Amino acid sequence: MGNAALFTAAVLGSAITLVACSATTEDKGSDAPGKPADSATYEVPTATGSSDEIPADFPKKIPVVKGSYTKGLSTGVSRNLSVTGIEASAYDEAENLLTTAGFPAVPDPTRTGEKCDRTSEFGSITQNDYSITLCGNDTASGYELTYKVFLGASATP
């Protein structure tokens, strides 16, 4: 057998193998390219974290701007919520919503240790059962507003 005949046989053999493998994958129900043929229930993982719904344990009395919500660390006495998918003007809207809902602005915010482009505090644990700190940051992926809420003794989520 000459070189040309060997080359033709190799090409035909490869083509037959590819057709056979393709048929096997389709016969077993895999519709995901590159997935093994025995993977009949391939699922794309969904992103966890942000949602268009405020977490159930976030206090209902605290108004929040509309956006994509990500629940932060929550303990027995605190709740944290980040809002993304918003413009920087949402910070002013958040301040207005809080004061309109009866949470007085604290003139000189005392919370430190956080890197925030803008920070405001509202309410007090003794007067409103909630102390709220707003932290606004312009990030590489857009503006982010974080609500840090401390609950007083009679506060309810």
Q: Is the pTM of this model over 0.75?
A: no
Name 141's Cβ contacts closer than 8 Å, sequence gap at least 6.
Answer: 84
Tens digit of pLDDT per residue, the chain (157 long)? 554 444 344 434 444 333 344 444 444 444 444 434 443 433 333 334 678 899 999 999 999 999 999 999 988 899 999 999 999 999 999 999 999 999 999 887 666 667 899 999 998 877 778 999 999 999 999 999 999 999 988 777 7
Per-residue CA distances from 118 to 90, 91, 114 (Å): 12, 8, 10
